[in-house]
């Protein structure tokens, strides 16, 4: 049920220069979802009355991603006044003027902060009936963070930034995570009083905490259970660390749901994936995007599935597939490449060193090895011989090939599209099929074989080949 007394402001205006990337920092992905997408999902899980996202750097790209991820979010632009305090100030401006509830402030680059932690923070804030609540964490190395200074009794006293801290304060391990809950009235009252007269020329949100304490308002700090929960993403090292931690949690969740993961350290699963019971994921497997794997399938080793559907009991080994459908009981690989639009029917086979694209291969049909099948429809229980190519491109356009059911093609065939092979037809080895083949017919394009006796002796005299031939002739005569 929507909490009408709750609003969430997501700070997503930062430039993220330490990522050294043309892509906005918060649009880099974790488990298939942009960093900011994790934050938005957490905000939505709180079910607040309002979610406001403050943007600035690469505004259009960030805003487009936010709209796609959370259409109900309100996007506001931070102006030329820098700082988190100013970001929250413009965020409040997007809330109804009569909103008098609590405001949760989160950063768009803290993807592992979960709704359970924020709910606990909100509960503590409301129980204390204070003006603000700070989410804190205890770090082994607190360098660079503002420290939480507490009184002798353990209650919150103030936040001191590292550059202003005394030697004793620098030894404090509890830090300010940058996540807060404010009573809206207190925040609206104090933000206008925050200045930007500091070394960075920024309007800091932490100054609101100081002002609240100066006026005697109640402020508390609540530490998280694990410090990694509030870890921000500032560079690619931190991105990789967060990705590993999140992936470990995802893998463990699927293991507990009945999926066998042989090597969790080399298995990567995106959040959007769905995996059935008794599926086996072998080492080096990547299950990406909204991939669906049905019960009992075996995937891997060394396999990547991106937005694919895999039927029950199918096997996919050492292969790469994108936007492909693999039917129940079918087998793929090793070393197959399934491009978008591939559909492999029940109990079908796409074998070793086979590439497919925009093709439907019917139930029980096989393309066992060394073939390219593109823009092709193959019926049921057909066998395509080794080295087959559907020549679908004439330098101007793509053309279709249709191969019927119960067809057997010989090795090293080329089907020059557009062409149709009827049900039950056969093609001989080495055939280049340029015309339609009627049902039940045999198509061959093989020229008569001609043996030119003595050619090697006449044209390669003195070579090892000539000597071997002469020795063989002598043996035959004897």
Q: Which residues are catalytic?
A: 369
Partners of residue 286 on adjacent β-strands:
268, 304
**Element containing residue 159 per DSSP (H, E):** strand 156-160
Residues with Cβ within 8 Å of 171's Cβ and at least 6 positions away in sequence, in order, are none
135/221 Cα distance (integer angstroms) = 6
* Alpha helices for 306-424 (secondary structure H): none
Kindly write down the DSSP assignment for every residue of 323-357, as one continuous string: S-EE-TT-EE-SS-EE-TT-EE-TT-EEEEEEEEE
Residue 441 Cα to chain centre, angstroms = 48
Name residue 138's beta-bridge partners: 174
Residue by residue, DSSP assigns 363-415 as: TT-EEEEEEEEESEEE-SS-BPPTT-EEE-B-SS-B--EEE-TT-EEPSS-EE
Q: At residue 67, what are phi and psi to the nearest 5 degrees?
A: -60, -40
Closest by CA to 356, choosing from 381, 328, 335, 329, is 335
- Tell me the HSE value of 242 on the side-chain side, using a 13 A CA sphere: 27
> In whole angstroms, what is the distance from residue 171 CA to residue 174 CA?
9
């Amino acid at each position: 049920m929507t909490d009408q007394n709750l609003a969430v402001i997501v700070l997503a205006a930062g430039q993220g220069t330490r990522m050294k990337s043309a892509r906005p920092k918060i649009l880099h992905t974790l488990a298939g979802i942009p960093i900011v997408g994790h934050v938005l999902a957490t905000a939505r899980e709180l079910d607040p009355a309002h979610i406001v996202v403050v943007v600035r750097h690469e505004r259009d790209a960030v805003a487009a991603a936010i709209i796609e991820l959370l259409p109900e979010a309100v996007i506001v632009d931070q102006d030329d006044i820098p700082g988190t305090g100013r970001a929250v100030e413009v965020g409040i401006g997007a809330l109804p003027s009569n909103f008098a509830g609590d405001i949760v402030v989160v950063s768009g680059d803290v993807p592992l902060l979960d709704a359970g932690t924020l709910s606990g923070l909100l509960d503590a804030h409301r129980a204390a009936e204070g003006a603000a609540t700070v989410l804190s964490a205890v770090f082994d190395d607190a360098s660079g963070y503002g420290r939480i200074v507490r009184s002798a009794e353990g209650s919150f006293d103030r936040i001191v930034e590292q550059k202003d801290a005394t030697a004793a304060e620098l030894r404090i391990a509890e830090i300010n995570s940058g996540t807060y809950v404010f009573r809206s009235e207190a925040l609206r009252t104090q933000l206008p009083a925050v200045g930007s007269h500091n070394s960075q020329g920024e309007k800091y949100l932490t100054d609101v905490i100081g002002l609240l304490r100066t006026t005697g308002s109640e402020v508390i700090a609540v530490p998280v259970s694990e410090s990694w929960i509030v870890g921000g993403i500032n560079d690619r090292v931190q991105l990789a660390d967060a990705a590993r931690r999140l992936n470990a949690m995802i893998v463990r969740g699927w293991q507990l749901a009945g999926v066998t993961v042989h090597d969790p350290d080399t298995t990567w699963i995106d959040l959007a994936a769905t995996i059935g019971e008794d599926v086996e994921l072998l080492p080096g497997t990547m299950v990406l995007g909204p991939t669906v794997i049905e019960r009992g399938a075996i995937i891997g080793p060394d396999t990547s599935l991106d937005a694919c559907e895999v039927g029950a009991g199918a096997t996919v080994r050492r292969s790469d597939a994108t936007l492909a459908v693999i039917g129940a009981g079918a087998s793929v690989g090793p070393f197959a490449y399934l491009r978008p639009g591939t559909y492999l029917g029940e109990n079908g086979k796409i074998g070793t060193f086979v590439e497919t694209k925009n093709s439907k291969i019917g139930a029980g049909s096989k393309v066992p090895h060394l073939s390219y099948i593109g823009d092709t429809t193959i019926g049921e229980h057909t066998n395509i011989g080794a080295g087959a190519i559907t020549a679908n491109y004439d330098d101007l356009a793509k053309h279709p090939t249709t191969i019927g059911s119960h067809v057997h093609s010989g090795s090293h065939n080329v089907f020059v599209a557009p062409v149709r092979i009827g049900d039950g037809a056969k093609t001989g080895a080495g055939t280049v099929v340029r015309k339609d083949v009627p049902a039940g017919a045999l198509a061959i394009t093989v020229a008569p074989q001609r043996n030119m006796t003595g050619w090697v002796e006449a044209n390669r005299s003195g070579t090892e080949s000539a000597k071997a031939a002469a020795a063989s002739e002598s043996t035959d005569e004897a």
